[in-house]
Amino acid sequence: MVRGKKGLRLRGVVLLTAFMGATVLPCWCQQDPTKQPGVPDLLTKLHSRHWSERIDAIDEIDSDQALLHNRKIQAALIDLLNQEVAEDASSQDTSAADDGEEEYSQYFTLLCYIVNKFVNWNDPRQACMMVNAAYIDYPSSALEAAAQAKAAMPCILKRSKSNLAANREVVSSMLVEAMQKAQGTLDAETAQAAKQIVLSDLRDPDAGVRASTVYALGKFAGTDMIPALEEVAANDPGPEVEGHSIRKSAAKAITEIQKREAQP
C-alpha cells in the first residue's frame, strides 16, 4: 500500500491522468472578472505555504493563455513542481492532511497537467522533474513521442533503482511505455539496461511492482516479452484473491500482446 501524502499524490497522478486528456478539471473557484489578479499577486499565491491558495492561482493561470505563456509564471510553476516532487525535501505544507488528501492529490495532478503544456523536454532537469512527478503525457506524433521518451529515459532508469517499492511500482509502467514510445531510438546499451530492469521488476519482491509491470507489458510490449510473461504466469508467488492473481494477469497480458501484434 502507498502511504503518506507523497505516495497518495503519486497514486493520484496515475489514476487521474487518464481523464486529463478528455476532461479539464472543474474550476476550483469562481472569480469576478473585474477582480482578476495580476502577475505579482499570482506569483505571491504560487509561493504560499498552503496548497489551497496555490490552486487558486493555478486555476486562474489555466484559464488565461497570456498568463500561461508569461515567463515569470512559467518559472514559478516549474519551481513549485520541483518543490513538490523533491524526494529529500520535507513538506512545509501541513494543511493537506486537514483539508483532505484527495483534494491535495487533485491539486498536484492539475499542477502537473499545466506545467506539461510548456515544459522543455530538451532540458534534462525539467525532464527529470516530470518523471519524478510521475506525469508523462506523450504527444500524438510518433516522432515527438520518441524524442520525449528518449529524453525521459535516463531519469526513469535512475528512479527504477529506488529502494522504495512505491517508487518502483509507479515507475515500472513508465519504463515499459517509454521503451515502446522510443520506437528503437534508444542506444543499444540504454535499451538493454531498460529491458533488464523490466525483467527484474517481474521478479520484484513487492507484488505491486510485479502487477504494475505485468499490466504495462500487456498494454505496450511486443512479442519479445512473452517468454518472461509466461514465466510469471506459471510461477509468480502471489496468491489468488477473489479470482484475481498476477499469474492470471500475466496470461491476459500475453493474449493482449498477441492480439495487438496480429493487427495490421
Pair 59, 29: CB distance under 8 Å: yes
Q: Cα angle at 166 between 163 and 167, to 5 degrees?
A: 65
How confident is the model over 220-233, as a mean pLDDT?
97
First-to-last alpha carbon distance for the chain, in angstroms, is 40
Better-scored residue on pLDDT, 6 or 246 = 246
Lowest mean pLDDT among 3-7, 10-14, 109-113, 137-141: 3-7
Percent of the chain, pLDDT > 90? 72
Q: What is the rounded average pLDDT for all residues in the chain?
A: 85
Hey, is 244 helix, strand or coil?
strand
pLDDT of amino acid 100 = 66
Reported in sequence order, the residue ranges of the chain that DSSP labels E, i.e. its strands, are none
pLDDT of amino acid 54 = 92
pLDDT of amino acid 181 = 97
CA distances, 66 to each of 71, 114, 125, 152 (Å): 10, 13, 25, 28
* DSSP symbols for 177-211: HHHHHTTT-S-HHHHHHHHHHHHHHTT-SSHHHHH
pLDDT tens, residue by residue, 5-43: 444 455 445 444 444 444 444 444 444 444 456 899 999
Is residue 184's pLDDT more than 70?
yes
Scan for cell 492561482, then name that residue: 57
pLDDT category of residue 264 using cuts at 50, 70 and 90:
confident
CA distances, 112 to each of 58, 129, 174 (Å): 11, 10, 15
> Does the predicted TM-score (pTM) go above 0.75?
yes
Is residue 217's pLDDT more than 60?
yes
Is residue 155's pLDDT more than 90?
yes
Rounded to whole angstroms, the Cα distance separating 15 from 99 reads 20
Lowest mean pLDDT among 2-11, 38-47, 116-125, 232-241: 2-11
pLDDT of amino acid 51 = 81
pLDDT of amino acid 36 = 53
pLDDT category of residue 52 using cuts at 50, 70 and 90:
confident
How confident is the model over 231-239, as a mean pLDDT?
97
Better-scored residue on pLDDT, 33 or 238 = 238
Rounded to whole angstroms, the Cα distance separating 13 from 7 reads 10
CA distances, 154 to each of 20, 56, 131, 184 (Å): 26, 34, 10, 15
Rounded to whole angstroms, the Cα distance separating 17 from 109 reads 7
The superfamily CATH assigns to domain 120-131+138-264 is: Leucine-rich Repeat Variant (1.25.10.10)
How confident is the model over 136-146, as a mean pLDDT?
96
How confident is the model over 93-118, as a mean pLDDT?
78
pLDDT of amino acid 37 = 64
pLDDT category of residue 3 using cuts at 50, 70 and 90:
very low
pLDDT of amino acid 104 = 83
Listed by start position, the domains of the chain span: 1-118, 120-131+138-264
pLDDT of amino acid 87 = 45
